[in-house]
Amino acid sequence: MTLIAILTLAALCFAKTPKFTGKIVAYNLMQHESKTASAVQNEETVVLSVPEQKKKYIKVVFASFGTTQIEPKYFGGTEPLTVEVLRDHTCDENSPVFVSQTSVEQMGGTYLLTDAFKSSPPGKIKTLECYAAIYRKK
């Protein structure tokens, strides 16, 4: 039993980490605007358009102690972002809601479309698969 556990962990350690490249379609405005510089970890959740993948859209959660998880240039929706990820089934989302502008009533639980996708928002998405971003030191 111990040998099986060691082999499983070794396989996970040497497995290739998935890497996605896509444009930010929308982002969680509440997380984006409410970051603090403190000992509390900040999160940024975005929806990426990944046309080469089985699922056209994926949700990616970035978490760190800084106030900037993603460079501002990617939030226009025109620059492709490449990120290494791990699949996280715990944050999959059913029927996400996308809006082109927010009101106070809509801020929670919605994604604000980037400028590039306001004229062509994604259609109905049954399940938005979630991934956790991995940070690597360069």
10-residue averages of pLDDT along the chain (138 residues): 48 67 91 72 90 88 83 93 94 92 70 93 91 75
At 30 the pLDDT is: 80
Q: Please, is 28 exposed, middle or buried when counting C-beta atoms within 10 Å of its C-beta (0-12, 13-18, 19+)?
A: buried
CB proximity list for 14: less than 8 A, separation 6 or greater? none
Instruction: Give the pTM.
Output: 0.80
| Cα within 13 Å of Cα(35), Cβ side | 20
* Containing structural domain, residue 128: 18-134
Residue 8 lies in a domain: no
At 13 the pLDDT is: 52
Residue 3 lies in a domain: no
Question: Total domain count for the chain?
Answer: 1
Residue 13 lies in a domain: no
Residue 11 lies in a domain: no
Residue 73 lies in a domain: yes
User: Would you say 136 and 64 are in contact if contact means Cβ atoms under 8 Å apart?
Assistant: no
Residue 90 lies in a domain: yes
Q: Please, is 116 exposed, middle or buried when counting C-beta atoms within 10 Å of its C-beta (0-12, 13-18, 19+)?
A: middle
Single out the residue of 127, 106, 4, 112 nearest to residue 58, CA to CA.
127
At 117 the pLDDT is: 95
What is the helix (H) or strand (E) element at residue 33, kind and residue range? helix 29-33
